[in-house]
Amino acid sequence: MISVVLPAGGQGKRMKSSQNKQYLMLNEEPILSHTWRVFARLTCVFIKEIILVVADGEQQFCEDEVVKPYISEKHPEVKVISGGKERQHSVFEGLKLVSEEVEMVVIHDGARPLVSEDVIYQTIGVASESKSAISAVPVKDTIKMINKNSNTVEKTLSRDQLVYVQTPQVFDKELIIKAYENAFKKRMIGTDDSYLVEMLGHNVDVVQGDYQNIKITTPEDLIVAKEILKERGS
């Protein structure tokens, strides 16, 4: 069985909006509703539950405005819980509630509303073999490492080895819980889940992601997301 953890407990500071970015409207619906709906509609019978991790005090709002409009009878179990200070704390709160019988966990940012079913299923497929898979796309720009003090280039990284890492990221349940426990024990904070798995020395497979699966982070991203939805005809 599979559990889905959707971290949506951030504050959206880089969006510079008075409202939490998850609830900003994207085609007349909150961003998080789009993300929720993709997972709520998955027909995969192995999905046991979806755990939405939201900011403190936003649970009721999320249940009423995001979950209820798309809940169906054959739907897996839904848990809406409150998160923590950093994304890593929020995901960990979600992992603590994963049911006993679950073998695999799908982690996906609430702020990535344009994820496709295809990418989700492909990432699950690879992780079911290797225990750990992330979706990613090749970088388009040249990326350089710089010295922030002197504002000079340290080195130019080889582009054909670089990817933009996205979510979903899918892991064997025992492995991801062990990775999170290890990270907290060693006081490590990573910006994605697979980093914590890498820190255990475990291999992480990379699955072809989708350039349209952007994370809504700054105001420009919302403009791009609206255009993508327009092109999709929705």
Choose which of 38, 111, 207, 225 interacts with ligand CTP (CB under 6 A): 111
- Please report whether residue 192 would count as binding ligand CTP according to CB under 6 A: no
Q: At what angle do helices 117-130 and 31-40 cross, to 10 degrees?
A: 60
110 binds ligand CTP (CB under 6 A): yes
Site string for ligand CTP, 14-33 (x = CB under 6 A): x------xx-----------
- Say which residues have a Cβ less than 8 Å from residue 165's Cβ, sequence separation at least 6: 134, 135, 136, 192, 194
> How far is 78 from 67, CA to CA, in rounded Å?
8
CB 166 within 8 A of CB 106: no
d(CA 36, CA 32): 6
φ/ψ of residue 78, rounded to 5 = -120, 135
Rounded distance between C-alpha atoms, residue 165 and residue 97, angstroms: 26
Question: Interface with ligand CTP by CB under 6 A: which range of 70-78, 104-112, 121-129, 143-151?
Answer: 104-112
Interface region with ligand CTP, contact rule CB under 6 A, candidates 79-87, 170-178, 196-204, 222-230? 79-87
Instruction: Report the side by side order of strands in the sheet with 2-8.
Output: 77-82, 47-54, 2-8, 104-107, 163-172, 132-138, 205-208
Closer to ligand CTP by CB, 116 or 128: give it.
116
Is 183 an interacting residue with respect to ligand CTP (CB under 6 A)?
A: no
Of the candidate residues 2, 10, 80, 170, the single one contacting ligand CTP (CB under 6 A): 10
Is the separation of the CB atoms in 130 and 81 below 8 Å? no
Q: Which does 11 bind (CB under 5 to 8 A by kind): Mg ion, ligand CTP, none?
A: ligand CTP
CB burial class (10 A; 0-12, 13-18, 19+) of residue 91?
Answer: buried
Candidates 61-69, 81-89, 150-158, 179-187; binding stretch for ligand CTP (CB under 6 A): 81-89
Q: Of ligand CTP, Mg ion, none, which one does residue 122 interact with (CB within 5 to 8 Å by kind)? A: none
Among 8, 104, 126, 197, binds ligand CTP (CB under 6 A): 8
Piece in contact with ligand CTP (CB under 6 A), picked from 82-90, 122-130, 136-144, 205-213 = 82-90
**Which residues of the shown chain bind ligand CTP in the complex (CB under 6 A)?**
7-14, 21-22, 53, 83-87, 90, 109-111, 215, 217
